[in-house]
Amino acid sequence: MRYRALGRTGIEVSAYCLGTMMLGSVGNPDHDDCARIIGHALDHGVNFIDTADMYSAGESETIVGKALHGRRDDVILATKVHFPMGEGRNRGGNSRRWILTAVDDSLRRLNTDWIDLYQIHRPDHTTDIEETLATLGDLVRAGKIRAYGCSTFPAEELVEAHHAAQRRAVSRFRTEQPPYSLLARGIEADILPVAQRYGMGVLVWSPLASGFLSGRIHRDTVDLTTGRAALTPHRFDPAIPANAAKYDALEQLTALADELGCTLPELAVAFTQAHPAVTSTIIGPRTLAHLDTALKGAALALDDATLDRIDEIVPPGVNLYRPDGAWRAPSLTDSTLRRRPPSARAAA
C-alpha cells in the first residue's frame, strides 16, 4: 500500500481509504462482520478510514469506534457533519451551534478523544462560510479535531472558502472529497485544478459509480428490483434515454478491462489513482469479499496507452450522469433565484 501526504497537513494516508457508508443498517447490519472488514483493511496497510455522522443515523460511527479499540493511534480517522440528525430544527447544517453539538456526538460514538479530519459534508448557504471556518478553527485549538476539510463543494465555493479564510485569518479547508469515476470526470475541469492550486488533499468517492462499474451491471440483464438498482432505478434503467451513453461507455470499458486482463472494478479504481491531484480513493465495501476484491487490484497501474483509450471512451472533464444526488445548488432548485420579477423581465 502506498502512502501520500494529505495535502499540506503533514499527515500521511494510504492510497486507499476505507469508506464505511455501507457499514450499518443501510448496508451490513452485522457489527462483528463490519469489525472484521475494518480489521482486515488495517492489516493490509489501509490507515485511513472515512465515515460520517449521518451514515445509518450514527451507527456507522459506532461500529468504527468499537472496531478501532486498541488500534486508534495507528489510524487517520475522518468523519463529516452537515446532514440532519433527528427531527426538529437546528439539527443539521454548518452553523456554529450545530457543529459544536455534532462534533461531541461523533466523538462519543467513535469512542475517541480526537478526529483527525473533520469534514463539512455539503455547502450550507444559510450560514456564512466564515462562521463555519471560525468554528472549525476553534475545534482545532480545543484539541477535538486535527484538520478540517469539505466534501462535494463546487469549485467556486472552494475558492470562496479560501478567500474567506484569509479575510478571517483562520486556517482554510485542507481537503476536498468529491465524486470521481470513469463515468463522472467533471471534477477534472475545475475541482482537481483548484485543489492542486491550494495544496489540498483529495479523497475521491464512488469510484464504481454507485455500483454501475461493479461488473455486475449489463444493459440486457440489469435487475431493477435488487441492490443499488432498486434504490435508484432512474440511474440504471436502460429504457431511459439519458442512460444510453452510460451503457455504451460501460460496454467499451468492460471490453478494455478484458483486454488488460483485469476486472472492471479494478480498472475503475486504478483510473482514479492515476490523477496527480488524487490523494486517496475511498473504497466502500459491504462485505469482506468486496474488500478483498478491491485490495486485489491495488497494484494495478494504468499506462498512458490505456488512459488514452479511456479518454476516447469518456472524454476528460465529462460527466455521463450527475454523481451527487444528495445536494443541488440553490441557484438551480429555487426558481426565485433565477427569475426576475415578471415586471422586470422585458429588455425594454
Active-site residue list: 55
Find all residues with CB under 8 Å of 276, minimum gap 6, and list them.
Answer: 196
CB 186 within 8 Å of CB 318: yes
Element (H, E) at 272: helix 264-273
Are β-strands 145-151 and 280-283 bridged in parallel, bridged antiparallel, or unpaired?
unpaired
| Cα R_g (the chain), whole angstroms | 20
Rounded CA-CA distance 131/115 in Å is 20
DSSP per residue, 53-122: TTGGGGHHHHHHHHHTTTTGGG-EEEEEE-S--SSSTTSSSS-HHHHHHHHHHHHHHHT-S-EEEEEE-S
* DSSP state, residue 148: E
348: cell is 425594454
Rounded CA-CA distance 58/86 in Å is 10
CB 263 within 8 Å of CB 293: yes
Rounded CA-CA distance 26/244 in Å is 29
Long-range contacts of 313-318 (CB under 8 A, 24+ apart): 313/182, 313/249, 313/252, 313/253, 313/256, 314/182, 314/183, 314/185, 314/249, 314/253, 315/185, 316/185, 316/188, 316/189, 317/185, 317/186, 317/188, 317/189, 318/185, 318/186
Rounded CA-CA distance 267/256 in Å is 9
CB 73 within 8 Å of CB 42: no
